[in-house]
Chain A
Amino acid sequence: MTPALFLDDISCTFVSKDDRSQRYTAVANTTLAIAPGEFVSVVGPTGCGKSTLLNVGAGLLQPSTGSVKVFGSELKGINQRAGYMFQAEALMPWRSALQNVIAGLQYRGGDEKQAEELGQQWLARVGLKGFGDRYPHQLSGGMRKRVALAQTLVMDPDIILMDEPFSALDIQTRQLMENEVLELWNAKKKAVLFITHDLDEAIAMSDRVVVLSAGPATHPIGEFIIDLPRPRDVAEIRTHPRFVELHQQIWAVLRDEVLKGYQQQKTAA
């Protein structure tokens, strides 16, 4: 089967603008394939280039070498079939929640009224019915994330890219959001590439977890199939014996990299 998103032997080297000899290879020789309908999480130590990988998949960043294929065809420019949920605040502060949700539909063109109806439906689906008129600064952090989720999913993308979308949320809101995402994914079964530094989150949500090495020159060093039953509840699944077993296996691989990354950052500072 053609993968929904195929990162083929990707390397990314950043060159300092002021000094051409200053180079930093964030990602090296990484190959990653995500099947349609598959939920893949990528975990790794902080600062290892996870977001770089995601930006390559989104078409926001050109890889130094290697190629990106989307449903078998070479990616040029922005990945039109992907929706991207950013780690940082990405809502337009000058638009109300509803106007933010339907921004993508407006860009695509078409009937404004229909778009608004669809936007209202999605706001209701993420639990924000009646909040459509609020501006982002009038919403809490969790609500803003839910607007961002609706904004991404209203476009009905075939590939969903998520960059630590819930890392800024408190643990309760976070689990609620994780369950919501799982439920929405279960209904539509899109290909998901989920970046996180939280191993619990990765195991609880995914079909497959890919572990990245510490930077520089990050590459995958382990891959684990998560054979936990679905549908899952992210809070309850953590006590499942198989969850604990997988957690130990993956953590054994991840721990050394986390320590390595920490040491590097310490010496650099």
Chain B
Amino acid sequence: MEITAIFQIAGVGIIIAIMHTVLKQMGKEDIAHWITLLGFVIGIFMVIDVIAQLFQEIKSIFLFQ
């Protein structure tokens, strides 16, 4: 849980965008879309930990559980 995760997500996004462009230039549109989906899933896994932590904190502070 650090600030670097923001840069990681942004980096994944930029790299995926570059790969998407390159693959599109090569004419492999479908692979490019799968790459995008994969990168998005990786990003979601990064974010979901933090969201779980947030909900846990809210539960323990506001809802007494």
Partners in one complex: no
User: Which A residues are within 8 Å of any B CB, using their own CB?
Assistant: none
User: Which B residues are within 8 Å of any A CB, using their own CB?
Assistant: none
